[in-house]
Structure 1
Amino acid sequence: MHLLDLQTPALVVDAALLDANLRTMADALPGARLRPHVKAHKTTALAKRQADAGHRGFTCATVREVEGMAAAGLGEDLLLANEVLDTRRLGAVVRGGARVTLAVDSPETVEAAASGGVREVVVDVNVGLPRCGIDPAAAGELADLARSKGLSVRGVMGYEGHLMLRKDPAERAERTAESMALLLAAHEDVGGDLVSAGGTGTYAVNTWATEIQAGSYALMDTAYAELGLPFRQALTVLGTVISASAKWVVADVGLKALGMDHGNPAISGAHVHFCSDEHLTFTPETPARVGDRVRVLPAHVDPTIALHERIHVVDGDEVVETWPVDLRGW
């Protein structure tokens, strides 16, 4: 199949750039030092590539991701880095032979883990991001409660997500150190082998965590590209010009094909004006005609992929593989 044969909008991944990104990260964080986050791509075929690169443990964001990874034979060590109050489906995955560890940050989530059949947890600690996570000073008490319920406490996790896109490398490193000081203090009280943290934006500076939960590095987006990281943008959304005027042109890649929480997408050699439901309005540096194909670079890879059913892997203009985005949904 050729790129011209694809119906648009379509997710397209450059095979060579993807392979280079996987190699670069595996060299930087070999084996268990990286616990890839599958929320970034929601695709077990890509997760298998990460496993082939030496990373056997994975991070998940949803119950559906845990189920899908286990069903694909990738259930050796799955961390659901999120709080869940109905864990019956997770218990079924555990009984099926997969290893599932669940994040907890309250007595209610501890009780849910125990009652649903999950056997292992990590204590989720707030390290500065106003989201989930218990106060570091209370982490030890929660760990004791979990053990009293028969749960094994593997350690702690804390996500410095508020620092991922800080553009100043020195500030990013300094503030990561501050966040990890909170996490390590909690770990002293909690115990266990795991100190799980980090992401693509801090993977190179977070030397305190025993494992890094990076995910976006594999495919990348324009938000992370601004940080000067050694990863290339392997993912684009292929579109078709459907209307052209003297001042602007319109492609069929709109809000329903792009994650827009980090702003407008980009097109090489063009100025993007705005997106609407099914339209992307932009002005190219050179004239474009109706029927031309355009490669649109999303600003945020994770929600972009979740909007699509499949990813087309290309070598040049040839489609060499098509992967279902099989971890979509909840």
Structure 2
Amino acid sequence: MKIDELQTPALLVEQSVLQANLDTMAAAHPGARLRPHVKAHKCTELARRQDAVGHHGFTCATIREVEGMAAAGLGTDLLLANEVLDARRLGVLVAAGHRVTVAVDSAETVAAAADGGVREVVVDVNVGLPRCGCTPAEAGRIADLARGRGLAVRGAMGYEGHLMMAQPAAEQARLTEEAMALLLAAHADVGGELVSAGGTGTYAVNTWATEIQAGSYALMDTAYAELGLPFGHALSLLATVLSTGTAGETPYAVADVGLKSLGMDHGNPTIADGQVWFCSDEHTTFGAAELSGAELPTVGQRVRVLPAHVDPTVALHEAMWLVDGEEVLQRWPVDLRGW
């Protein structure tokens, strides 16, 4: 099949770029030094590619992701880097022989883990992002509560998500060191072998964590591309131009991707040689990029759209298509979607 035969909108993953991204990260963080985050792609076939380059432990954001990874035979070491108040579905997986660790940050989440049949936890610490996580000072107490309930405490986790896009690089490194100082202080009270942190934006500067939870590096998006990272755009959204027109004297084109097929929280998508005006439910309206000299595509032509945020974009689609140039190689279900 050729990509022109696909119904649009369609997620495309360029095989050579994907493999280069996986190999680049594996060289930087081999083996257990990286715990890839599957929330970025929600696809067990892509996770198999990560496993193939030596990354056998994975980070998950939802119980559904944990279940799907275990069902795919990728349950060697799964970390649910999120708090849950009903861990019974995780306990079923543990009883079936999968290794599942869950984040805890309170007496309530410790009780949920123990009551649900989970046997291992990490203490989640707030290192500057006001989301989940206990204060560093509380981490030791939470670890003691967990051990008191018979749970094994594997270590501490703290996500410096507020620093993923921080610039310049020297300032990002300084702020990351401050965040990790909080996590290391907490870990001294918690114990365990894991200091789990990091993401695609800080993978190169976070030298304090024992494992990095990066995920977006595999497919990439335009927000992370602004940082000059050594990862290419493996993922694009194939769209068809449905209509053209003029606003005053300015020509524009309309493609069949919009808010229902793109993650928009990091801004508008990008189209080569185009200037995106706005996105609506099913459409993206764009003009020619200033000084590009390119003509707008005509009705029926295909364009590649690069999302600004890969994670929510992928979650809106049922499948992605692995391609080699114009050739479609495989259909990969986005099988970790849902809750």
With normalisation by structure 2, the TM-score equals 0.97
Q: Where do 1:1-330 residues align within 5 Å?
A: 1-246=1-246, 247-284=251-288, 285-330=294-339
Q: What stretches of structure 1 move > 4 A for 4+ residues in a row? A: none
Q: For the Cα contact (< 8 Å) 1:272–1:281, is it kept in 2?
A: yes
| Superimposed CA distance per residue, residues 6-60 of structure 1 (whole angstroms, 9 cap, x where no aligned partner) | 0000000111100000000000000000000000000000000000000000000
* Counterpart residue type for residue 284 of structure 2: L
The letter of the residue matching 2:30 is: P
Any idea what the Cα deviations from partners look like across 1:184-219, whole Å, max 9, x if unmatched? 000000000000000000000000000000000000
Contact persistence 1:167–1:226 (CA under 8 A): no
Residues in 2 aligned to 1:18 and 1:32: alpha-carbon distance in whole angstroms = 20
User: What secondary structure, in the 3-state scheme, does the structure 1 residue paired with 2:123 have?
Assistant: strand
Residues 134-171 of structure 1, C-alpha deviations (whole Å, 9 max, x = no match): 00001001100100000000000000000001131111
Q: Per-residue CA shift, 1:204-237, capped at 9, x if unaligned?
A: 0000000000000000000000000000011001
Write out per-residue CA displacement over residues 236-275 of structure 1, whole angstroms, 9 at most, x where no aligned residue: 0100000012410000000000000000000111100000
TM superposition shift of 1:96: 1.0
Distance 1:170 1:90 in 2: 40
C-alpha distance in 2 between matches for 1:125 and 1:301: 26
CA contact (8 A) 1:220 1:231 kept: yes
Cα RMSD after superposing both structures = 0.5
SS at match of 2:36: coil
Equivalent pair of 2:34/2:211 in contact (CA under 8 Å) = yes
Contact 1:248 1:281 in 2 (8 A): yes
Q: Aligned AA for 2:79?
A: L
Contact 2:253 2:297 in 1 (8 A): yes
CA distance in 2, matches of 1:234, 1:216: 10
> Helix, strand or coil for the counterpart of 2:233?
coil
For the 8 Å contact 2:261–2:317, the answer to whether it is kept is yes
- Offset of residue 287 of structure 1: 2.7
Q: Percent identity?
A: 73
Separation in structure 1 between the aligned mates of residue 187 and residue 217 of structure 2, nearest angstrom: 27
* Structure 1: unaligned runs, 5 residues or longer: none
Q: Report the residue type matching 1:122 in the other structure.
A: V
Note if contact 2:236-2:304 (Cα within 8 Å) is conserved in structure 1.
yes
Q: Shift of residue 66 of structure 1? A: 0.2
- Separation (CA, whole Å) in 2 of partners of 1:192 and 1:318: 48
Q: Give the number of aligned pairs.
A: 330
Contact 2:216 2:311 in 1 (8 A): yes
